[in-house]
A and B are shown apart, each in its own frame.
Chain A
């Protein structure tokens, strides 16, 4: 079983839609959690950290459920510029990346 599992997608959604990505992790001792965004043929960039209390940054909301070892990312009012791969990342003294979920927003 992979340490971090994500649905690879692609998720094809129209502009303005709400889309949710999920991720599960296997190591219960994981310390911190992140979502990174990676554009095609570019490097990953931190989108947001994920906290147990849930956190929001504009149109993006991240949630962590430690009991279920589950992380989510919600994107509201999708924009064309949101098209990218979203990587779920778990810190276990080193960053462990999921395979990423590809999002394509169409007009």
Chain B
């Protein structure tokens, strides 16, 4: 079956611009997660959705970052007024129920802010 998909695979933008990153989880998975991975680091938790609601958004670095999952399936991570420090790989993962279940990761979106 299809795994987690993310689009775009690469995004280059200029400082100050707005970007949207999309995640399509595995069908039937109610839990969805966003992570950010910088070079030489492990993935860093950003936000966790259970269904349509954000169950834990404690990892979002500031109010420029926002994520939605309006129908409990596809999610969009939105970054306003991008900064060079936002450059990283943004990973999405999904799991069957909650955080105790295995998380399956998508291939990531590599964001470069010039």
A96 within 8 A of B: yes
Say whether, besides A43-B108, A45-B105, A96 and B100 are in contact (CB < 8 Å): no
- Decide: B45 and A42 in contact? CB cutoff 8 A: no
User: Contact flags (1/0) for A3-33 with B, using CB distance below 8 Å?
Assistant: 0100010000000000000000000000110
> Chain A at the B interface: mostly helix, strand, loop or mixed?
strand
- Decide: B102 and A46 in contact? CB cutoff 8 A: yes
- Decide: B100 and A32 in contact? CB cutoff 8 A: yes
Q: Which of A8, A95, A97, A98 has the most CB of B within 10 A?
A: A95
B112 within 8 A of A: no
B61 within 8 A of A: no
Interface residues on B, range: 20 to 34
- Decide: B106 and A43 in contact? CB cutoff 8 A: yes
Q: Which of B1-54 contact A (CB under 8 A)?
A: 33, 35, 40-45, 48
Which of chain A's residues have a CB closer than 8 A to the CB of B42? 4, 87, 89, 97-100
Which of chain A's residues have a CB closer than 8 A to the CB of B111? none
Q: 5 closest pairs, A vs B, by CB? A: A97-B42, A43-B105, A94-B45, A97-B43, A99-B42
- B interface residues (Cβ-Cβ under 8 A, vs A): 33, 35, 40-45, 48, 56, 58-59, 91, 99-100, 102-103, 105-108
